[in-house]
Amino acid sequence: MTVIDSIKAVFSSSSSESTSTSTPHSNSTTTSTGPSSETLKPHPEGNAPAHPSNPDAKAVPEQAVLSDKPVFDQNKVTVIFVLGGPGAGKGTQCERLVADYGFKHLSAGDLLREERNRPGSTYGELITEYIREGKIVPQEVTIKLLENAMSSTLSSPPSSQNEAWSNGKGRFLIDGFPRKMDQALKFDESVVKSSFVLFFSTTEAILLERLLERGKTSGRDDDNKESIVKRFRTFVETSMPVVDYYRKLGKVVEIDSSPPIDVVYEKVRVEMDQRLGNLNSSSLDTTSQPQVPAASSNTTSTATRSNATGEAPILAPAV
């Protein structure tokens, strides 16, 4: 055997051994010359990216890549964030806004639950664990799900007769999002800049009562007292800074959701007519501070109502 042949034989043997031995981070011992079993597969276009096969992994896969510039034109696509503690009535009010104003309602929580239950979703266990613990799912997952849902809706508008959905335009209510500052900033940066925040506030006692009642029929595994308390704490600690951030920009409409549904909705309509009128009448520069309507009998702040009734708002520390 020549020297060259000997060298070739050594390299051939080394390569063979490396392909039959699993990597330190892989649970697979299957012979493979390709990527290890932990390598992520590209996700189909329009679907949420796949999560690593390791169910204990907390890191978001590299394929959950978000754009470094807005995907949608803010002059055509209106996004209103709808925030409030769990049980504040966000979903109920959104249903009415959809019927009266032609919005598309996207619930971040519903999208996550649908993805969790989708056959073949490798995100399922990750989402289940985060929801059960009352934690916030990694932002890349949630934002990508929202972006995909918006793209799907714009490609097949809910009403071609509605001016709000003509010529590539659209209007969205995004319920339960953003729940952290990084989500808010990343969505504005990579999807589209939001128009304003519709914030429903009430007392913690009312929220607990509503959720426990809902839990009797909802079938949701997070509608139990232990999970509810965790969700309260998570909301106050992580979501209220988001509300405060947008409030400083003059982009928060706060509604007391303690009264009956019809009463709350009348207040919502007053604010919505005012804000949508502003958005439709001019090309609003979102870097400037939009005018906040003066307080009236229909738009009195939650803080004023809470003091008048003697109830502590949701932000008040537990006594």
Annotated binding site for a ribonucleoside 5'-phosphate: 113, 135-137, 176-179, 183, 220, 231
Residues 244, 250: Cα–Cα separation, whole Å: 10
What 3-state class would DSSP assign to 141? helix
Residue 253: closest CA among 273, 283, 233: 273
**Binding-site residues, please?**
87-92, 113, 135-137, 176-179, 183, 214, 220, 231, 259
Residue 110 Cα to chain centre, angstroms: 9
Question: Measured on CA atoms in the order 20, 26, 28, 34, is the torsion positive or negative?
Answer: negative
List Cβ neighbours of 70 (8 Å cut-off, separation of 6 or more). Answer: 188, 189, 190, 191, 192, 193
What 3-state class would DSSP assign to 86? coil
**Binding-site residues for ATP, please?**
87-92, 214, 259
**The token pair that represents 307 in the structure block:** 């003091």
What 3-state class would DSSP assign to 182? helix
3-state secondary structure 30-75: CCCCCCCCCCCCCCCCCCCCCCCCCCCCCCCCCCCCCCCCCCCCCC
